Amino acid sequence: MVLAYKDLRDWIAALERAGELKRVRTEADPILEVTEIADRVSKSRNPTPGGPALLFEKLHGHPGSKLLINQFGSERRMRMALGVDSLDEIAGRIRELLNMKSPEGFLEKLKMLPMLADMGKFFPKTVPTGACKEVIKKDKFSLLDFPILKCWPQDGGRFITLPCVVTRDPRTGKRNVGMYRMQVYDERTTGMHWQRQKVAAEHYRERLRMGAAAGTAAADRGSAVDIMARTSGGSRLANGERPSGKMDVAVAIGTDPALTFSAIVPAPPEVEEFIIAGFLRQQPVELVKCETVDLEVPANAEIVLEGYVQLDELRPEGPFGDHTGFYTLEDDYPVFHVTCITHRRDPIYATTIVGKPPMEDGWMGKAVERIFLPLMKLTLPEIVDVNLPVEGVFHNLMIVSIRKSYPGQARKVMHGIWSLGQAMFTKCIVVVDEDVNVHDIGDVVLKALNNIDPERDIQFTFGPIDSLDHASRLPNYGSKMGIDATRKWSTEGFSRPWPDEIVMDPAIKAIIDKKWKTLGID
């Protein structure tokens, strides 16, 4: 497969050649109608689950505009987007990197030179200019010129849903690319929905801390750290004053698929998403300097929004029909002020919708699951496989199979998962033995429900909960459940004999395999 698509247009052409794209030439309104069409397509199973990518070419109120949606909405398109025949290929490349050992001796060092050279090409490079600057608007611009969707009836307004939001750590200078929905308030301002666990939110908090430390020597450092106790809010310093200053932000819309995907990857904050995209593409991402802020953006993006977040400003954001299948309720979040828009001539607006699964984001989540399994195994080597069912919306349920070698290991794995980055939000974890296929829900249900004594094997704990969880007793804090569905050992206090699973004799199965066609049953 092609490993790197130059830009979104190159990707669209590849989708069309592969029969994975449908052009929609009937007029559709970005207000609700595009969502209804895309939702029906993403939930279809004919001819394959997920339906085709859709390129809308006639949008009500936006003559001449084009809109791409459902670009990642099938297993095949996710593989195409990342340039592989199987997502396990990328997992294999990650394992190779993790298994690299320090070379011993001159010859081993020589052998590693080609691999080190390959790693070097993952790093982004800054170029003088790019297609994203074909049109530059520093005045007389409006966000409403783009066909931004209102997705669901009770949404608070139009939302930009597939942005690559670029921020910079004020301490280290490292860039981050995240994906946070942006409610459009008017022609030049949006909400910035970075939840408390997101890297950009930490950049924002750090700017607040720096403002608190610089603003008054009397400010208590511990209170300053809690300035943003809620995901979005808390905009007063320890002495009651408001923080001042701005934080530069840039937003790229319509990037090549590997970069767009990298923006949702739960990578360590020390690793720039531009490097992850380079690793996935096997080619560096080209960047250009912004016009009005001190940041770099993808040179071949369709649209770039430049601006800032004012540290002393919050505004209600939402409601928003979310990937849980329910509306996320209104809350206060920072406000993004646009100072400049650059874009390609006749830009293609890339977007997505979320709601009741299955939808496009489900395929993206499954790709994250497969690609980052090796990283989970690095910390928890007993893990054999994991499954985050789409219906569990990725933070409600994780099924894990382990190679059990000592008593209590299933509980150790539960707590290990709850300590891993965004996996800490997993509400329910089910741990099964290595011979259980975690992707066969029927097999999991059969084995798990047969193997547990509920009082003995179900464990409850408290901790951070996803901001979108509407059932937790407090915002961002609630209970979690772990289920040890492994076979119990005598060393775990189980003294009864454990029965064998019913399995037919392999010799009999072979005999019937040979007879099957003659039976006239099929």
What per-residue confidence (pLDDT) applies to 395? 87
Residues 208 and 334 in one domain: yes
Query: How far is Cα 61 from Cα 84, in angstroms, rounded to an integer?
Result: 39
Identify the residue with better confidence: 506 or 465.
506
**What angle do the packed helices 360-371 and 87-98 form, to 10 degrees?**
30
pLDDT beyond 60 at 418:
yes
Q: How many other CB atoms sit within 10 Å of the CB of residue 319?
A: 18
CA–CA–CA angle 253, 259, 263 (5° rounding): 80
Looking at 334, 350, 366, the residue that finishes a domain is: 350
What per-residue confidence (pLDDT) applies to 101? 52
Residue type for 450, please?
Answer: N
What per-residue confidence (pLDDT) applies to 235? 45
pLDDT beyond 50 at 230:
no
Q: What percent of the chain has pLDDT over 70?
A: 88
CATH number of the domain enclosing 389: 3.40.1670.10
Identify the residue with better confidence: 164 or 421.
164
**CB 28 within 8 Å of CB 61:** no
* pLDDT digits 0-9 by tens, 14-35: 999 999 999 999 999 999 999 9
Residues 414 and 265 in one domain: no
Residues 334 and 206 in one domain: yes
**CB 230 within 8 Å of CB 298:** no
Residues 340 and 387 in one domain: no
Residues 227 and 305 in one domain: yes
Annotated catalytic residue within 39, 155, 256, 322: 322
Cα separation values, 77 from 4, 42, 121, 147, 388, Å: 14, 13, 25, 24, 19
pLDDT beyond 70 at 217:
no
pLDDT beyond 70 at 226:
no
Q: Is residue 93 part of a domain?
A: no
Query: How far is Cα 493 from Cα 455, in angstroms, rounded to an integer?
Result: 14
* Range of lowest pLDDT (21-35, 219-233, 236-250, 255-269): 219-233
Q: Is residue 104 part of a domain?
A: no
Query: How far is Cα 148 from Cα 23, in angstroms, rounded to an integer?
Result: 18
What per-residue confidence (pLDDT) applies to 284? 92
What per-residue confidence (pLDDT) applies to 297? 97
pLDDT beyond 50 at 343:
yes
pLDDT band at 3 (very low <50, low <70, confident <90, very high): low
What per-residue confidence (pLDDT) applies to 246? 92
> Considering the chain, what is the average pLDDT of its residues?
88
pLDDT beyond 90 at 339:
yes
Identify the residue with better confidence: 99 or 133.
133
pLDDT band at 198 (very low <50, low <70, confident <90, very high): confident
pLDDT beyond 60 at 116:
no
* Mean pLDDT value across residues 212-222: 47
Q: What percent of the chain has pLDDT over 90?
A: 66
Q: Is residue 171 part of a domain?
A: yes
309 bridge partner residues: 247, 336
pLDDT beyond 70 at 214:
no
Q: Is residue 63 part of a domain?
A: no
What single string gives the DSSP state of each residue in 506-522?
HHHHHHHHHHGGGGT--
Query: How far is Cα 315 from Cα 179, in angstroms, rounded to an integer?
Result: 19
Residues 297 and 201 in one domain: yes
CATH number of the domain enclosing 328: 2.30.110.10
* Mean pLDDT value across residues 147-162: 97
Q: Is residue 78 part of a domain?
A: no
Domain of residue 402: give its range. 380-492
Query: How far is Cα 177 from Cα 251, in angstroms, rounded to an integer?
Result: 9
Count the residues in the chain. Answer: 522
Highest mean pLDDT among 23-27, 226-230, 237-241 belongs to 23-27
pLDDT beyond 70 at 118:
no
Work out the burial of residue 11: count CB atoms within 10 Å of its CB; fewer than 13 is exposed, 13-18 middle, 19 or more buried.
buried
Identify the residue with better confidence: 147 or 109.
147
Q: Give the N- to C-terminal CA distance of the chain in Å, as an integer.
A: 38
Which residues of 367-457 form beta strands (DSSP E)?
383-387, 397-402, 428-433
Residue type for 425, please?
Answer: F
Q: Is residue 367 part of a domain?
A: no
150 bridge partner residues: 31
Residues 318 and 463 in one domain: no
Residues 299 and 418 in one domain: no
Identify the residue with better confidence: 96 or 397.
397
Residue 371: DSSP 8-state: H
Q: Is residue 453 part of a domain?
A: yes
Residues 438 and 390 in one domain: yes
Q: How many other CB atoms sit within 10 Å of the CB of residue 43?
A: 16
Residues 338 and 406 in one domain: no
Looking at 301, 332, 350, the residue that finishes a domain is: 350
- Give yes or no: 322 in active site: yes
Identify the residue with better confidence: 486 or 99.
486
* pLDDT digits 0-9 by tens, 450-494: 999 999 999 999 998 888 888 888 988 999 999 999 999 999 999
Work out the burial of residue 522: count CB atoms within 10 Å of its CB; fewer than 13 is exposed, 13-18 middle, 19 or more buried.
exposed
What per-residue confidence (pLDDT) applies to 315? 96
What per-residue confidence (pLDDT) applies to 279? 87
What per-residue confidence (pLDDT) applies to 160? 98
* pLDDT digits 0-9 by tens, 363-376: 999 999 988 888 88
* Mean pLDDT value across residues 105-125: 62
Q: Is residue 76 part of a domain?
A: no
pLDDT beyond 50 at 220:
no
* Mean pLDDT value across residues 151-175: 95
Structure tokens at 161: 């849903």
Q: Largest alpha-carbon pair distance within the chain?
A: 89
Task: Give, for 342, the enclosing helix (H) or strand (E).
Answer: strand 331-343
pLDDT beyond 90 at 47:
no
* Mean pLDDT value across residues 286-312: 96
Compute the CA torsion angle 327, 332, 338, 343 (nearest 10 deg).
-20
| 252-290 residues labelled b (16+ CB within 10 A) or e (exposed) | bbbbbbbbbbbbbbebeeeebbbbbbbbbbebbbbbbeb
* Range of lowest pLDDT (114-123, 127-136, 459-468, 494-503): 114-123
Residues 228 and 344 in one domain: yes
pLDDT beyond 50 at 352:
yes
pLDDT band at 255 (very low <50, low <70, confident <90, very high): very high
What per-residue confidence (pLDDT) applies to 104? 57
Residues 318 and 388 in one domain: no
* Mean pLDDT value across residues 377-403: 92
Domain count, the chain: 2
User: Could you give phi then psi for residue 56, rounded to 5 degrees?
Assistant: -80, 130
* pLDDT digits 0-9 by tens, 59-91: 999 999 999 999 999 999 999 999 999 888 888
Residue 423: DSSP 8-state: G
What per-residue confidence (pLDDT) applies to 389? 92
